[in-house]
Amino acid sequence: MTEVRMGVDAVDRELVQLLKRRFGYMDAAARIKPERGLVRDEPRKAQVIENVRRHAAEAGIPDQPIADLWDRLIEASIAYEFEKFDRMRG
């Protein structure tokens, strides 16, 4: 069990680094988007969730819980991008 837990911890560290990379793209989006109203993009959110649902199903893991996680991730990303957008433009 110790090895399993160590493996889970290693994967969690990798996931955090991937999330850091993903949030870096939110920084870029906040710089690029000309208007605050463009930060929230519901069609894109739906597309991302559908993509991840499909990838999860193809990987043989439960797609609905993964879609739910991504919904929360996207909402956190949107909030982060709003914060960055507002900070950059005062």
pLDDT digits (tens, 9 = 90+) for 71-82: 999 999 999 999
- What integer pLDDT is reported at residue 90 of this predicted model? 76
Q: Quick check: 53 and 66 in contact, CB under 8 A?
A: yes
CATH of the domain at 45: 1.20.59.10
Question: In terms of pTM, does the model score above 0.75?
Answer: yes
Question: Annotation-wise, does 5 bind a ligand?
Answer: yes
Question: Annotation-wise, does 81 bind a ligand?
Answer: yes
Rounded Cα–Cα distance for residues 6 and 39 (Å): 38
Rounded Cα–Cα distance for residues 74 and 3 (Å): 32
Burial label, 41 (beta-carbon count in 10 A; 0-12, 13-18, 19+): middle
Question: Annotation-wise, does 84 bind a ligand?
Answer: no
User: In terms of residue numbers, what domain contains 81?
Assistant: 2-89
Question: Annotation-wise, does 20 bind a ligand?
Answer: no
- The structural domain count of the chain equals 1
pLDDT digits (tens, 9 = 90+) for 11-66: 999 999 999 999 999 999 999 999 999 999 999 999 999 999 999 999 999 999 99
